[in-house]
Structure formats: structure tokens, C-alpha cells
Amino acid sequence: MTEKVLRELTRGVLRKYITQQEGLNTVRGRIDTATQMRRAHLKSTAVSCIYDEFHIDHALNRILKAALRKIMMQSNQLNTRKRAGHAMMYLDEVTDSIDERLLRSVINFDRGNRRYEECYRLAKFLLSQTAPTPQKGNKTASSILFKMNDLFESYIATPVD
């Protein structure tokens, strides 16, 4: 997973437009006339504006960062931890907190964020701590495969105390 996330982040960190509403000294976006009329009696120079701002801190990036943090904490492989740490540097401005509602929320993938879809499914799989069941249905699931011969050889080569 760390290779895929790092590859996509080096191509460009996903950003999203988020609508903001606040009183500003200069007009930005469009004027919120309803709020402006309510504030007319305040004799303030601030103009109530609604505008879109390009943010890096959104649900998809939070989930990816949480999965990378979990990989860094639990992985025994130095290269995996290095890749996860390098990928987390790209997501430095993303909030660290994640809650259960965020994991249950549905993220709609479009042409702008489709390249992160597989990384998202793997991250959600790691964070949910569940295992996919091989049943018939229309759900897709990611899996983690191991080379069993390498796994068996490393197990046999481990000394017993």
C-alpha cells in the first residue's frame, strides 16, 4: 500500500474545494446578501462573503494519513516504514484525527480522484480491522497476499528459544 500511496502523492496531493462563509474586509467570491442585510445595523466594514477555498484537509486524505500512521506503528519492515513516513510528509497539513463516522462515510470517486480509489480501499481495510469474506455479491474487497514459500522459509529459519 505504501508504494501505491507514495506514487500517487508524488504525482500530486489531492485537494478539494470547500465552501467558506465569513465576514471579510474585501469581497471574495460572492456577497451573502441575507447575512449582509442582517449585519447592516452593526456599521461594520466587513462584507459577508461565500467563497470556495482549495483545501488539502478532507476525508480521503485523513483516511490515507491514518492508515499510513498505523503502518508506521505496526510494520517491522524498515523500507515500508520509510515509504510511509515519506508519504506522510506530503500529508503534513492534514488533520491527524479520524473518527468512526469518517470511516463509514461514502467517498464519491470522479475523474479527479479516481487514481486514489485503490489506495482508499486498502486504507479502509487496514483501519476497519475486518477481514473480507469470500461470498457472492457486488461488493469489492482488497486482499493482502504473501509469498508462502518465503513466509515458510523465514518461519523455519527463525531460531527457537
- The per-residue pLDDT string of the chain (161 residues; one tens digit each, 9 = 90 and over) reads 788 888 888 888 888 888 888 888 888 888 888 887 777 777 677 888 888 888 888 888 888 999 899 988 888 888 889 999 999 899 988 888 777 777 777 888 888 888 888 888 888 888 887 666 666 666 666 566 778 888 888 888 877 76
Picking from 75, 68, 79, the residue whose alpha carbon sits closest to that of residue 8 is 68
* Domain range annotation of the chain: 2-12+57-155, 16-55
pLDDT for residue 37 = 78
pLDDT for residue 144 = 67
Q: Is the Cα dihedral 17, 22, 23, 25 positive or negative? A: negative
pTM (2 decimals)? 0.67
Q: 39, 120 in Cβ contact below 8 A?
A: no
The DSSP secondary structure of 16-53, one letter per residue, reads EEEEEEEEESS--SEE-HHHHHHTGGG--S-EEEEEEE
pLDDT for residue 143 = 64
Supply 41's cell numbers. 445595523
Residues 6 or more apart whose CB falls under 8 angstroms from that of 39 comprise 23, 46, 48
